[in-house]
Amino acid sequence: MSTMQFQFNTDSSVMGTTAVAERIEAQVRHRLARFAERLTRLEVHVSDVNGRKAGSDDKHCTIEARPRS
């Protein structure tokens, strides 16, 4: 059985560095490990709700999990 793919997406106002992507991937894979054999792909989408305004309470994260058929 193939391994679950992971994709990390950000909008232009979020720092989507490799280090950030790796840290998020590790955390999400750890939390969803019990479902890994039932999933083909995880997609994480992070955006900044109010763009240019400062603050850490305005981030939005959506996780899409694609099931095996």
Instruction: Check residue 45 and give its pLDDT.
Output: 94
CB 9 within 8 A of CB 46: yes
| HEC profile of 7-44 | EEEECCCCCCCHHHHHHHHHHHHHHCHHHHHHEEEEEE
Only one residue has tokens 């894979």, namely 29
Structural contact between residues 13 and 50, judged by C-beta atoms closer than 8 angstroms:
no
| Torsional sign, CA 11, 16, 20, 24 | positive
pLDDT category of residue 69 using cuts at 50, 70 and 90 = confident
pLDDT 10s digits, 24-64: 999 999 999 999 999 999 999 998 887 676 666 688 899 99
